[in-house]
Chains A and B, each alone.
Chain A
Amino acid sequence: MSPTPECVLIEQRLPRVLEDDLPVGETALVVAHVESCASCAAARARFGAVRAAVQLERPRVDDFAALRARVSEQLEPRRFAFTPRAMLAAAAMLALAVGSVFVAPSVLEHADFSTILGHARAGLPALELGSNLDVDWSIPRLSDLGAAR
Chain B
Amino acid sequence: MPEALLEAAGLSRRFGGLAAVDAVDLRVERGAIHGLIGPNGAGKTTLLNLIAGALAVTRGTVSFRGADITRWDAARRAQAGIRRTFQNLKLFAEMSALENASIGLHAGTHAGIFAALARTPAQRAEEERIFARARRALEFVGLGGDAGVAAGKLPYGHRRLLEIARAFVAEPALILLDEPAAGLNQTEAANLSRLIGRIRDAGCTVVLVEHHMDVVMSVCDQVTVLNYGRKLAEGRPAEIQRDAQVIEAYLGRGDAPPSKHALA
- Do the two shown chains form a genuine complex with each other? no
B contact set with A: CB distance below 8 Å: none
